[in-house]
């Protein structure tokens, strides 16, 4: 009878699933088994995307499910194309709860208030929210990572290309700018990677003030190339449109979320990427084993290169010869804790392919207005600043459409 009721609820609520919905009310409490554990996911774009933000999360969730013994064919329920609207997010959560999901992942920043509210309404379901900052001590956490580290590495690739082209103008299409630490820290880290190779590089940011608007992403990339003469187009937005534009216009680019070389074969250099399965497998395993201790075992998750959560995609053949060595040097320094991006220590790369060297020098980390963020030789800014309160650009960044 319980299975029959769940099936009827599933049909009535019309949950979008990757497969026919075989609703089953999973065991709540400790010791959920793989045979009755259900995963729910709320996506801002389509589960069928082939690149970009939602694609990266969907790939991470399905790969993680396989790692922990779950079958995406019958255990994964998705509501996709959900805008950052509290009522629509709540409706999606109700649908997934009606399907017996034991854990619900919400991947977009604007889902946080609805998830916070619904976590109280459904205390037996674990709610896990990407990129946000809200949580409770029972069944609601947030997860993100040090993507700024991977952005620095992509910046190295862009810096070498700008140096080879004799063009210091680098473009950056961003959904948001200094309004969110997530976007702001990424822009800053990318610019610092560029300047570690080409000290005269300037990163021109065009902010489109929205997530997931492909036409605006395309228009911004076109403007950065046509009006500002940018030779490399980087991005913090959801689709591959900026890279496609770069490919069309004969310049270069650094994508985001997934390797976009397929979408822009003659343009793409490298992309900061997420290996979301590293987190999703951790979260699913903890929720399956004992959901009552989920917040103790997993809590609010924030890892980086050292945990394999973030990385830079394989460098394409479009990269300059020195890029690979410089990226490997910087990556090793971050992984072993020798150095991190937002400190008072500046890296400079020099030398030809096969003999690239790095120089470390104590130097003030400066805002774009010339004020000091970190004094020369100082430790990196706190994680809380990188995650939540960074609201300034570093010297070398210019927002062109303020």
- In the predicted model, what is the mean pLDDT of residues 161-165? 98
pLDDT at 28: 33
How far is residue 48's CA from residue 83's CA, in Å, rounded to a whole number? 16
Give the strand pairing for 202-207 and 397-399: parallel
Q: Are residues 90 and 34 in the same domain?
A: yes
Q: Are residues 320 and 182 in the same domain?
A: yes
Q: How confident is the model at residue 212 (pLDDT cuts 50, 70, 90)?
A: confident
Q: Are residues 244 and 119 in the same domain?
A: no
Q: Are residues 158 and 203 in the same domain?
A: yes
Please name which of 114, 56, 127 lies closest in space to residue 85, comparing C-alpha atoms: 114
Q: Are residues 41 and 120 in the same domain?
A: yes
Q: Are residues 34 and 80 in the same domain?
A: yes
How far is residue 123's CA from residue 336's CA, in Å, rounded to a whole number? 39
Q: How confident is the model at residue 14 (pLDDT cuts 50, 70, 90)?
A: very low
Q: Are residues 162 and 207 in the same domain?
A: yes
Which tokens belong to 45? 């774009």
Q: Are residues 132 and 152 in the same domain?
A: no
The answer, yes or no, to whether residue 72 has pLDDT greater than 50, is yes
Query: Of 304, 321, 347, at which residue does a domain stop?
Result: 304
Q: Are residues 100 and 155 in the same domain?
A: no
How far is residue 349's CA from residue 185's CA, in Å, rounded to a whole number? 22
Strand, coil or helix: 380: coil
The answer, yes or no, to whether residue 21 has pLDDT greater than 60, is no
Please name which of 26, 22, 36 lies closest in space to residue 70, comparing C-alpha atoms: 36
Query: Of 263, 286, 304, at which residue does a domain stop?
Result: 304
pLDDT digits (tens, 9 = 90+) for 215-232: 999 999 999 999 999 999
Q: Are residues 56 and 121 in the same domain?
A: yes
How far is residue 286's CA from residue 143's CA, in Å, rounded to a whole number? 14
Write the CB contacts of 220 (distance below 8 Å, at least 6 apart in sequence). 173, 206, 208, 242
Residue 125 near residue 228, CB atoms below 8 Å: no
Number of domains in the chain: 2
How crowded is residue 120: how many other Cβ atoms within 10 Å of its Cβ?
12
Write the CB contacts of 384 (distance below 8 Å, at least 6 apart in sequence). none
How far is residue 361's CA from residue 357's CA, in Å, rounded to a whole number? 13
Q: Are residues 96 and 180 in the same domain?
A: no
pLDDT digits (tens, 9 = 90+) for 344-381: 999 999 999 999 999 999 999 999 999 999 999 999 99
The answer, yes or no, to whether residue 20 has pLDDT greater than 50, is no
Helix axes 147-165, 323-335, angle to 10 degrees: 160
Residue 96 near residue 40, CB atoms below 8 Å: yes
pLDDT at 132: 86
pLDDT digits (tens, 9 = 90+) for 129-153: 999 899 999 999 999 999 999 999 9
pLDDT digits (tens, 9 = 90+) for 25-68: 333 334 456 679 999 999 999 999 999 999 999 999 999 999 99
The answer, yes or no, to whether residue 1 has pLDDT greater than 90, is no
How far is residue 238's CA from residue 21's CA, in Å, rounded to a whole number? 28
pLDDT at 34: 67
Question: CATH number of the domain that 31 lies in?
Answer: 3.40.50.2300
In the chain, DSSP finds a helix count (H) and a strand count (E) of: 13, 17
The DSSP result for 235-266, as a single string, is EESSSSHHHHHHHHHT-EEE--BS--TTTSTT
Which tokens belong to 394? 């570093």
Q: What is the mean pLDDT of the chain?
A: 92
- In the predicted model, what is the mean pLDDT of residues 376-391? 95
pLDDT at 264: 98
The answer, yes or no, to whether residue 19 has pLDDT greater than 50, is no
Q: Are residues 77 and 214 in the same domain?
A: no
Query: 11 lies in which domain range?
Result: 2-145+276-304
């Amino acid at each position: 009878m319980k299975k029959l009721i769940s099936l009827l609820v599933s049909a009535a609520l019309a949950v979008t699933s990757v497969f026919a919905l075989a609703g089953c009310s999973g065991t709540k409490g400790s010791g959920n088994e793989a045979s009755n554990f259900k995963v729910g996911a709320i996506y801002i774009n389509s589960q069928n995307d082939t690149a970009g933000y939602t694609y990266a999360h969907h790939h991470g969730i399905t790969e993680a499910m396989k790692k922990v013994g779950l079958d995406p064919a019958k255990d994964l329920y998705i509501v996709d194309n959900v805008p950052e609207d509290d009522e629509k997010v709540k409706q999606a959560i109700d649908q997934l709860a009606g399907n017996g999901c034991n854990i619900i992942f919400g991947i977009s920043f604007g889902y946080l208030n609805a998830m916070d509210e619904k976590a109280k309404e459904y205390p037996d379901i674990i709610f896990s929210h990407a990129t946000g900052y809200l949580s409770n001590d029972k069944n609601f956490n947030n997860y993100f990572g040090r993507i700024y580290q991977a952005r620095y590495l992509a910046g190295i690739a862009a810096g070498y290309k700008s140096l080879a082209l004799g063009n210091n103008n680098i473009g950056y299409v961003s959904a948001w700018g200094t309004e969110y630490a997530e976007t702001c820290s990424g822009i800053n880290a990318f610019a610092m990677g560029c300047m570690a190779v080409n000290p005269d590089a300037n990163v021109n940011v065009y902010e489109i003030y929205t997530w997931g608007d492909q036409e605006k992403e395309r228009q911004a990339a076109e403007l950065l190339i046509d009006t500002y003469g940018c030779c490399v187009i980087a991005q913090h937005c959801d689709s591959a449109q900026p890279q496609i534009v770069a490919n069309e216009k004969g310049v270069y680019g650094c994508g985001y979320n997934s390797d976009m070389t397929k979408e822009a074969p003659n343009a793409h250099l490298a992309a900061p990427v997420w290996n979301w399965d590293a987190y999703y497998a951790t979260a699913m395993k903890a929720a399956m084993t004992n959901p009552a201790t989920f917040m103790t075992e997993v809590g609010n998750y924030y890892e980086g290169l050292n945990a394999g959560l973030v990385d830079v995609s394989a460098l394409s053949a479009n990269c300059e010869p020195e890029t690979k060595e410089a990226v490997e040097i910087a990556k090793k320094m971050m992984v072993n804790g020798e150095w991190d991006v937002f400190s008072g220590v500046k890296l400079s790369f020099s030398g030809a392919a096969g003999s690239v060297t790095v120089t470390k020098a104590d130097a003030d980390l400066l805002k774009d207005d010339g004020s000091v963020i970190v004094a020369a030789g100082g430790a990196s800014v706190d994680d809380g600043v990188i995650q939540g309160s960074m609201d300034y650009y570093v010297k070398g960044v210019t927002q062109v459409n303020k």
